[in-house]
Chains A and B, each alone.
Chain A
Amino acid sequence: MRTIKFILQKEFLQIFRNKSMLPVIFVMPIIQLCVLVFAATYEMKNTNLFVVDKDLSSHSRELISKFNGSPFFTVKDIDFSINNAEDELLKDDVDAILVFENGFGKLVDKKEPAEVQVLVNAIDASAAGLYNAYILSVIQEYNLQLKAKLQIVGKDNGIHLVQNTYSFLFNPEMKYIPYMLPGILVLLVTVIGLFLSAMNVVREKEIGTIEQINVTPIKKYQFLIGKLIPFLVIGFFELGVGLLLAAFVFKIPILGSVWLIYLVAFVYLLTILGIGLLISTQTDTQQQAMFIAWFFMIIFIMMSGLFTPTDSMPMWGQKLNYLNPVAYFIKIIRMIMLKGSGFMDVAKELGILGVYAVSILGIAVNRYRKVA
């Protein structure tokens, strides 16, 4: 126990003496959190529309004014020429084109199907999907109004309207910040935990200090625990800062227990630090460790459900995700923060993480050799 205490003392001394790493560890996460939460959003604002109106009827104008009135759209220009519109699209000045053919208004008046052509820049497929959905919803809304009007005009027609009603549970306004923030919090804790631990033991190897440590009576587990605890503390600190920002800056209600979040974070960090230490013991230079850590990091994060829902991944991907600690933590932290889930609700995932942590740490201690 005493030995671990002295190793810890030394580790903290080194961390706090490292003037270039200190800001990276403590300030970077806060900046990242603030930037990413606003930047990584699926909310569409400022979609630039180009309207080709060859009809110039009251109906087409009404629909255009609906787009103009929407906060999501800016009608950049109205023109008769589809060619001009396509030029603008090529120049990337507009995101979508709306085309009203001549006769649109007449068809509407005749109560016959009238068509609006929508051309969307689909270089970014997910953005294109969103433009399309937003445009459709505006047209839909117009349709409903129109039908209602027509119904009033011609009472015999008896058009039946089926209107969907829906409500989003746990995030009623479908806000992105409450959805993204917990995930980004996980990301930050992961980056710090994985990289710091992956760099650490291998740095001692690179500088040669491990030689001097290895000839002392320090035991393997003491050495690794001494390496683990400082990063655990740093991870907890970052999580705390992140939660405070979430509660007081972003005003996200944290429905569940903060203690439960910390319990999960503890188990999760053990897993991540275990992976980091394992990488560190298996590599010879910091460069190797960096690249391997980065490799796992990217896979873990892209598959974690942070940006894209895990349910839409192919079956093999979902199976692979059983091995992805980030996915578990993101799922759990969202459940706790947004849904107010209690211990029993997350027990299964927490259990899996626990098994993960114990086995990966076991392997890491086992693979670290004091003797070559």
Chain B
Amino acid sequence: MNSTVSINNLSKSYGDVSALKEINLNIKSGELFGLIGPDGAGKTTLFRLLATLLLPDSGSAALCGFEMVKEYRHIRNILGYMPGKFSLYQDLTVLENLNFFATVFNTRIEDNMDMIRDIWVQIEPFKDRPAGKLSGGMKQKLALCCALIHQPKILLLDEPTTGVDAVSRSEFWQMLKGLKSKGITIVVATPYMDEANLCERVALMQSGEILSLDSPSGIIASFEKDLYSFEAKDTYQLLLNLRAYPFVNSVFLFGQSVHYTDVRDDFVLSDLKDYLKSKGQDHVEIKQIAAGIEDCFMALSQQNTVQK
């Protein structure tokens, strides 16, 4: 079975707000695909459309070759969906939840143990605990188990690691890698740029549009400018000064440092140092660095805004 997702000109708006603008996307069978974008980018809307919970305004999509609107019944049998908000029964125990979702798909836990074993062993010690009393990471694992219990061909995970601690996050991604080896097509939405590197291909989304679609390394390679990292005592003043610099292309705050690109290709760093000195900032640490996904996203989103 070819577990592809193909999306053609898909649009959806809520009243005046258009959440998705003519999205085109093809996800390959067995791929670990990331939808990266800030809150409000349209990731959840796209997922809800694919999960047959919403009807599109225009355009179409097919999962495993089944048309999203007409053949939604088939899709519901081959799709695993994990909403961003924990949506299992909090008053039922871990085992009861899993058992319920197994039975509504007309299957049994035992028959699908192969699929979920790696995850199940981690939550099995808590199997008699009400789902509402689990920790955030455990809840996510249980939700993943419930989404996998019917051996779906395609798995949609909406922000599975939001609100989960760093250790559980990396464990979670390990699990996704394990699932990928079983041949499931996995689509993950996440607002965390650092998780993009863990996907095979990513789509950077903003305001209902796909800014870029490539492998993480491809996206980084497409970053053409030289990127510099500036650090100073007064980061805020540094930011203001750099913004006021006549040749500035982009300045963004990244934690303690400021990432900077210049409009000129033949750009001499000492000019900028002199400029900062003239503004009274003597001790500035400057390094040329390799761009990350986040730099690419910021650059793309800036381009996108300028074009408009």
Contact = CB atoms under 8 A, between A and B. Distances in A.
Interface in B81-105: 81, 83, 85-92, 96, 100-101, 103-105
A208 B100 contact: no
B217 interface: no
Given A208-B86, A212-B101, A217 B91 contact: no
Interface stretch (B46-54, B121-129, B261-269): B46-54
A215 B106 contact: no
A211 B87 contact: yes
A371 interface: yes
Given A212-B87, A215-B52, A216-B105, A10 B100 contact: yes
Contacts of A18: 91
B73 interface: yes
A212 B106 contact: no
Contacts of A14: 89, 91-92
Query: Main SS of chain B's interface residues?
Result: loop
A234 interface: no
Interface string B229-267: 000000000000000000000000000000000000000
Contact of B76 (A6, A17, A216): A216
Contacts of B88: 209, 212
Contacts of B76: 215-217
Interface string B264-299: 000000000000000000000000000000000000
A372 B55 contact: yes
A17 B91 contact: yes
Contact of B104 (A208, A209, A218, A371): A218
A218 B101 CA distance: 10
B104 A215 contact: no
A249 interface: no
A320 interface: no
B105 A372 contact: no
Interface residues of B, number: 28
Contacts of B104: 3, 6-7, 213, 216-218
Contacts of B87: 207-212
Nearest to A18: B91
Contacts of B146: 212
A213 B51 CA distance: 11
B79 interface: yes
Contacts of A372: 53-55
Contacts, number: 72
Contacts of B85: 208, 211
B77 interface: yes
A337 to B, nearest CB: 38
A13 interface: yes
Interface residues of A, number: 25
B96 A13 contact: yes
A125 B103 CA distance: 60
Interface string A186-228: 0000000000000000000001111111111110000000000
B72 interface: yes
B91 A2 contact: no
Given A18-B91, A212-B87, A212-B101, A217 B53 contact: no
B218 to A, nearest CB: 32
A218 to B, nearest CB: 5
Contact of B79 (A9, A210, A215): A215
A351 B19 CA distance: 50
Contacts of A2: 103, 106
Query: Main SS of chain A's interface residues?
Result: helix
Interface in A216-272: 216-218
A370 B86 CA distance: 18
A97 B222 CA distance: 99
Contacts of B101: 212, 216
B55 A215 contact: no
Interface in A1-25: 2-3, 6-7, 9-10, 13-14, 17-18
A208 B89 contact: no
A8 to B, nearest CB: 11
Contacts of A217: 73, 76-77, 104-106
A207 B106 CA distance: 24
Contacts of B92: 10, 13-14, 17
Max chain A Cβ within 10 angstroms of own Cβ: one of B54, B85, B146: B85
Contacts of A6: 100, 103-104
Max chain B Cβ within 10 angstroms of own Cβ: one of A2, A6, A13, A215: A215
Nearest to B96: A13
A13 B97 CA distance: 11
Interface string A23-37: 000000000000000
A220 to B, nearest CB: 12
A6 B55 CA distance: 28
Given A215-B76, A371-B72, A208 B105 contact: no
A212 to B, nearest CB: 4
Nearest to B73: A217
A317 B151 CA distance: 58
A53 to B, nearest CB: 69
Nearest to A216: B104
Nearest to B86: A208
Contacts of B81: 211-212, 215
A372 B88 CA distance: 20
A17 B106 CA distance: 25
Q: Please give me the 10 A-B residue pairs with the lowest Cβ-Cβ distance, nearest first.
A: A208-B87, A6-B103, A212-B87, A215-B81, A208-B85, A211-B83, A211-B87, A216-B104, A217-B76, A209-B87
25 contacts: A2-B103, A3-B104, A6-B100, A6-B103, A6-B104, A10-B89, A13-B92, A13-B96, A207-B87, A208-B83, A209-B88, A210-B87, A211-B53, A212-B88, A212-B101, A212-B146, A214-B53, A215-B76, A216-B101, A217-B76, A217-B77, A218-B104, A370-B53, A371-B54, A372-B55
Interface of B: 51-55, 72-73, 76-77, 79, 81, 83, 85-92, 96, 100-101, 103-106, 146
Given A2-B103, A210-B87, A211-B53, 7 more contacts: A3-B104, A10-B100, A14-B91, A207-B90, A211-B83, A215-B79, A217-B77
